[in-house]
Each structure stands twice: as structure tokens, then as C-alpha cells.
Amino acid sequence: MTKVDEILDVLREEGYRLTPQRVMILSAIASSPGHMTAEEIHEKVKKTYPYIDIATVYRTIQLLKRHRLLVEIDLGSGTSQYELARAERHHHMVCRECGKTIDIDHRRFLEPVRAALLQEFDFEADIDHFAIFGLCKECRAKKAAG
Amino acid sequence: MTKVDEILDVLREEGYRLTPQRVMILSAIASSPGHMTAEEIHEKVKKTYPYIDIATVYRTIQLLKRHRLLVEIDLGSGTSQYELARAERHHHMVCRECGKTIDIDHRRFLEPVRAALLQEFDFEADIDHFAIFGLCKECRAKKAAG
DNA sequence: ATAGTTGCAAAGTGTTTGCGCTGAG
DNA sequence: CTCAGCGCAAACACTTTGCAACTAT
């Protein structure tokens, strides 16, 4: 049972229709390694079904987000990125030079912050997903050399 | 010497013209306690100078950002917020119920994360400004009671 | 059969840009 | 004087919405 099938099951159980459009959009997202913009999802689905509308893509994104099956990543660029939710919470580091993204474990790096804010301020932080910009190892090396 | 004066000095030294519009925009931002959207700045300046254009507000924001005199805060709402840069780096917790924002010290809460990412991944994170959403003390109490 | 979903087109936000005029230096 | 910066209007990029036609159930 693939991830896509699992998600389709959830949607079916919730009483949503499993339209070809929804299946294609899900497959498009699932078959990509990293995160994608709505436009990228649209383009990918278009290859097999050229009539798909960007509005349908956005509506499906909303649906999946509402059920926490999809994670929205705001890189502050004015365009959101999306990826399927995973069991283990994680965050991203994004290199501002080469654009590469590296996953970072929530438990190890951000959970301590969450705990500290709760203890100190009684503030219950929803640290669902962070995008941390910076310079990756390779680009730092290049910069030091060049 | 006020904060506004200091900023005006920087701009003058850099050869920029100190137009009334720029002075008014700066005053508007400086005289507000928290962060403001471009539209809020525009509205505030309009009260004393109704001809100010939103484009001028955006251009001034860009100018100040470029010189790191202004910090842009992306709350992921599609609308950026701005506040004057301060000496001590800080971040914000934003209550998703009541909208209240609480400052948090960089050194104490986020610097450890930065250090860990550098050590572990050789990734140099620009943790300039984070907005962390969640539930504040009061709203948590309300929720527990109600 | 029928309500949920689609494609299309249009509208809605927030932000940026081209351009001729103006005023700070 | 002169060019940086202004107001205006239009363009932009991304996302949402109203509606009639269609289709998964």
C-alpha cells in the first residue's frame, strides 16, 4: 500500500470523491522527491491530462492541507511549496545560494525550543514546519575559497 | 537623538534624499509599538499627508530593508509585517487565537539551534527573524476552562 | 438521481514597475 | 540646475471564488 493509496483511503472514508484529478495531483506530488509549488504540480499533471486547471490544483491542496495530509512550506518567497505529510515531523534548511534543501529532525533540533517556550512563557508553539535559510556546507566552502 | 534621526543620518550619509515622504514613513513605523503591514503604514501616513502613495511606502520599505534598518516579518499570512531593526536580535511568538505577539530573545532560544546546525551540517543559518505561531498563556487557560 | 467536483473566467490580494513631473541637494 | 524620487496607473504573481456543466457514487 503506497502513500498515495493511504491518502486516497482517508479521503474515501471521509466521503470525498476520488476523482481522476485528485488521484493525478496526489501522484504528481508523491512522485517528486522534494517539495513543489502549485504551479509545478499543475505542470506535471498537465503532461498526462492537459485540461487540468490550476484552480483544481489549489482546491485539492486545500483539501489535503485541511486533513493534514499535505504540509505547506513557506519559504518567504511569496510562493508556497507543498509536500506530503510524513510520520516524523521535520523541517528544512534551504541554501540561499544553491537552493538545496536539507531535512532536519524536529525532535533533535526544534523540540528543545518548543519545550523552553512552554516552560518559560506558557506558550504552546505550533512548530509544524520551519524553513531555515542559510548557506550550505558546499557554498560556504566555495565562498571561503573564491 | 532618536531612532528615526539615526536612520535618517545613515540614509543621508549614503547619499539618499531625505524626502518628506521618507521621514513620514519612518516616523509612522517608529511611533507604532509592534510591527505593521505596508497598508497600515500607508494609512497612518495618510492621516497627515493624504497624497502618499502605497508604491512610495513599498519603495521606502525596500530601501530600509536593503540597509538592514528595517526587519521584514513573514507570518505566512501572505502579508509581510515590518519593524525597525533593533540592536538585540529577537524573534516573535504570535498567538493564533488573540494575535498577541511576545518577543523572545535570540541568544537564549534560537542561538543554540544555530550552533547545532553549524556543528552538525556545516550549515550557516541566517536566523534573522522567526515568527513562531501558537497559543499564549491566556488563551490556553481560556481553552482549558471553556 | 444528485450532490460534490470540475473547468473556465473573473475577481481578489499584496507587491512591483514604467513613466513623466517635481523638488531636494 | 539636475537627477533621485514622487504619484499615478497599470502590470504582476499567486490564490480564491461564482457558476454552469459534468460525473463519481
Say if residue B66 is in the same domain as residue B107.
no
- A residues 22-61 near B, CB within 8 Å? none
Say if residue B5 is in the same domain as residue B35.
yes
Say if residue A19 is in the same domain as residue A69.
yes
Say if residue B80 is in the same domain as residue B24.
yes
Which residue places its CA closest to the C1' of nucleotide C15?
A: B58
Say if residue A52 is in the same domain as residue A122.
no
Compute the nearest-CA separation of A14 from chain B (Å). Answer: 27
Contacts of A134 in chain B (CB under 8 A): 117, 123-127
List pLDDT tens digits, range A45-62. Answer: 999 999 999 999 999 999
Say if residue A54 is in the same domain as residue A100.
no
Residues spanned by the domain of A51: 1-85
List pLDDT tens digits, range A82-141. Answer: 999 988 889 989 888 887 889 999 999 999 999 999 999 999 998 888 888 889 999 999
DSSP string for B13-63 = HTT----HHHHHHHHHHHTSSS-EEHHHHHHHHHTT-TT--HHHHHHHHHH
Res. A145: pLDDT tops 80: yes
Interface A-B, measured as beta-carbon pairs within 8 A, has a size of: 82
Contacts of B130 in chain A (CB under 8 A): 130
Determine the average pLDDT of the residues in A1-23. 94
Say if residue A9 is in the same domain as residue A48.
yes
- A residues 85-114 near B, CB within 8 Å? 93, 95-96, 102, 104, 108-110, 112-113
Domain of B95, CATH number, reads 3.30.1490.190
Say if residue B14 is in the same domain as residue B40.
yes
List pLDDT tens digits, range B73-111. Answer: 887 777 899 999 988 889 989 888 887 889 999 999 999
Tell whether B133 lies on the interface with A, counting CB pairs under 8 A: yes
Beta strands in A8-142 (DSSP E): 36-37, 70-74, 80-84, 90-95, 101-105, 124-125, 131-135
Say if residue A105 is in the same domain as residue A126.
yes
d(CA A14, CA B115): 44
The beta-carbon neighbor of B125 closest among A122, A126, A132 is: A132
Chain-chain contact of A109 with B117 (C-beta, under 8 angstroms): yes
Chain-chain contact of A113 with B113 (C-beta, under 8 angstroms): yes
Say if residue B81 is in the same domain as residue B92.
no
Tally of structural domains, chain A: 2
Number of residues in chain B: 146
Distance B4 CA to C25 C1' (A): 20
Distance A65 CA to C13 C1' (A): 21
